[in-house]
Amino acid sequence: MITFEQVSVHYPDAPAPALSGLDLTVPEGELCLLVGPSGVGKSTLLGTVNGLVPHFTGGVLHGRVTVGGRDTRDHRPRELADLVGTVGQDVGAHFVTDTVEDELAYGMESLGVAPAVMRRRVEETLDLLGLAELRDRPLGTLSGGQRQRVAIGSVLTVHPKVLVLDEPTSALDPGAAEEVLAVVQRLVHDLGTTVLMAEHRLERVVQYADQVLLLPGDGRPAVLGEPAAVLAQSPVNPPVVGLGKLAGWHPLPLSVRDARRLAAPLRGRLAQTPPVAAPPPTGTPVAEAARLTVRRGSIPAVRDLSLTLYARQVTALMGRNGAGKSTLLGALAGLHAPANGSVRVGGLTPHRARPQELVRQVGLVPQDPRDLLCAATVAAECAAAEQDCGATPGSCRALLERLAPGLADDTHPRDLSEGQRLTLALAVVLAARPALLLLDEPTRGLDYPAKQRLVEILTALAADGHAILLATHDVELAAEVAHRTLVLADGELVADGPSAEVVLASPVYAPQVAKVLAPEPWLTVRQVADAIGHPRR
């Protein structure tokens, strides 16, 4: 269905090609998972399939990409729209209408689909993705995960033969991600749709993949093959595969079920050495919310919530899409005034504090990092951040190098990948070294090595006296870094406790290692490696 013949992509002034020597075929009716480190060219590869590369992005495409017999060099994206459906990392850039139902219908209107057929397909898609209750909602009022589902639905209504998905579950809670992946699986199995999907959260999707396409990014050629065989040589792996490599299991498990069948000896070994519990927080609170209620329009997004955050503690804030996580972060950062109750951060009332005072007390990295980036180069962003907060010159750039090594100073932020942009925004906020650091979905677009670097940075910041609250759907990140976990539901706090206790009690928020090794209280591959005295491979 998709054929790459000696494909290379060169962008002007780039030191190296974005893709080089790609020569392979993705069969019809299979789910092909595209993996590799951030910035290795995954989004560029997806763009060659839908015609965005080179017709929209520019650059020079060498070789040939054919989709369903159509050469993408000769067919622009509009001419491929009936064949290839695409959902990119930035779902907001896809929207062209105002409401959910109109967005689902727009693609069909553009292709001249009959009204009766349009109506039926819209209803099917609303039910398929759990969007029926949102059909009349303005797109601007949706949560990030809801917007992601609408974006996927807007291309499904056209019934494409090929579906190109770039990080489709990055903004979704675990339950919503499973719903979307179940839909994708149904398209592959029942309708013979060919799906090419790039995803960093491999733990969510690898067990559904028919094939894995690996872009190593270290000079080696691309590899396409059976998931277990490819991941055995991949520099990025989901935790269940990492646990399999650590324990020497063969074949490598791709799902929790497969791993549990092999894990009895390891569970017995670990039962002799229980993990060390995190000490309770001490000292003066950095931030407090008392009976806090925050309204977004007429909707109470946070309701009667009381919360205390302490220095040297990393707290994960979890909950389904639309639960009120981003609103709570916004209230702590001074973006939303309380309707009832109070918020105090470092002795300040955030929504009334002067920005020059507040920046030293609280810093927020939003879901869309572009909201913080306005300079023309990476170096200029770092210099502006240092100047705004009076930080030591070069400190922001040094932190960025730790988080995302190798970013060129003269690169424009819009030319960075989603993960690289987020990392730059994090460095900009951290330049002021705020007492309270708030992060909203900080691992969107980050691969496993970049996520591990983020874990190390957050751990060091907490040890240095910062309080950190991160809203995330990434259960693996919470397991790695969070001392404490909160769960929100419809704006109310329904769980609050040590991370191990909260996530082990929840089948939704438990990480892969916890599911494999239950009832033993282990959360991460790192913990297991330390316990058995074995370096991780």
C-alpha to C-alpha distance for 187 and 195, rounded to whole angstroms: 9
Q: Between 468 and 356, where is the model more confident?
A: 468
Under the banding of pLDDT at 50, 70 and 90, the label for residue 142 is confident
Q: Between 277 and 472, where is the model more confident?
A: 472
Q: Between 277 and 470, where is the model more confident?
A: 470
Please write the tens of the pLDDT for every residue from 239-269: 999 999 999 998 899 999 999 999 999 998 8
Tokens for 130, please give them: 């759990």
Query: What is the model's pLDDT at position 397?
Result: 92
Distances, alpha carbon 266 to alpha carbons 9, 136, 263, 524, in Å:
46, 52, 5, 14
The structure's pTM equals: 0.83
DSSP letter for each residue of 246-311: HHT-SSPP-SHHHHHTT-HHHHHHHTTSPPPPPPPP-SSEEEEEEEEEEEETTEEEEEEEEEEEET
Nearest in space to 206 (alpha carbons), one of 33, 30, 29, 28: 33
Are residues 266 and 247 in contact, defined by beta-carbon separation less than 8 angstroms? Answer: yes
Under the banding of pLDDT at 50, 70 and 90, the label for residue 111 is confident
Say if residue 528 is exposed, middle or buried (CB neighbours under 10 Å; 0-12, 13-18, 19+): buried
pLDDT at 488 over 80: yes
C-alpha to C-alpha distance for 26 and 28, rounded to whole angstroms: 7
Distances, alpha carbon 116 to alpha carbons 109, 119, 231, in Å:
12, 5, 45
Instruction: Kindly list the domain boundaries of the chain, sorted by start residue.
Output: 2-236, 285-509
Query: What is the model's pLDDT at position 322?
Result: 82
Are residues 263 and 515 in contact, defined by beta-carbon separation less than 8 angstroms? Answer: no
Please write the tens of the pLDDT for every residue from 409-457: 999 988 887 678 888 998 899 888 899 999 998 887 777 877 888 888 8
Average pLDDT of the residues in 23-44 = 89
Which secondary structure element, helix H or strand E, spans residue 345, and what is its range? strand 340-345
Considering only 181-185, 201-205, 338-342, 531-535, which range has the smallest mean pLDDT?
Answer: 531-535
Specify the 3-state DSSP secondary structure of 220. coil
Say if residue 157 is exposed, middle or buried (CB neighbours under 10 Å; 0-12, 13-18, 19+): buried
Nearest in space to 93 (alpha carbons), one of 41, 55, 44, 139: 139
Average pLDDT of the residues in 46-75 = 92
Please write the tens of the pLDDT for every residue from 284-306: 799 999 999 999 888 899 999 99
| Common-topology check for domains 2-236 and 285-509 | yes
Tokens for 144, please give them: 């990030």
Residues above pLDDT 90, as percent of the chain: 52
Under the banding of pLDDT at 50, 70 and 90, the label for residue 537 is very low
pLDDT at 534 over 80: no
Q: Between 70 and 176, where is the model more confident?
A: 70
Under the banding of pLDDT at 50, 70 and 90, the label for residue 92 is confident
Query: What is the model's pLDDT at position 294?
Result: 95
Tokens for 462, please give them: 């907490």
pLDDT at 311 over 90: yes
Are residues 205 and 199 in contact, defined by beta-carbon separation less than 8 angstroms? Answer: yes
Are residues 148 and 91 in contact, defined by beta-carbon separation less than 8 angstroms? Answer: yes
C-alpha to C-alpha distance for 445 and 454, rounded to whole angstroms: 12
Query: What is the model's pLDDT at position 194?
Result: 94
285-509 carries CATH number 3.40.50.300: yes
Are residues 509 and 487 in contact, defined by beta-carbon separation less than 8 angstroms? Answer: yes
Phi, psi (deg, nearest 5) at residue 294: -125, 130
pLDDT at 535 over 60: no
Nearest in space to 162 (alpha carbons), one of 73, 79, 80: 80
Contacts with 7 (C-beta within 8 Å, 6 or more apart), sequence order: 19, 21, 22, 23, 48, 61, 62, 63, 64, 65
Measured over all CA atoms, what is the biggest interatomic distance in the chain, rounded to whole angstroms? 66
Query: What is the model's pLDDT at position 420?
Result: 80
136-142 long-range contacts, Cβ below 8 Å, gap at least 24?
A: 136/99, 136/100, 136/101, 137/99, 137/100, 138/98, 138/99, 139/95, 139/97, 139/98, 139/99, 139/100, 139/103, 141/297, 142/100, 142/322
CATH of region 2-236: 3.40.50.300
pLDDT at 151 over 70: yes
Strand partners, 437: 363, 468
The owner of tokens 């206790």 is 501
For the chain, give the mean pLDDT.
89
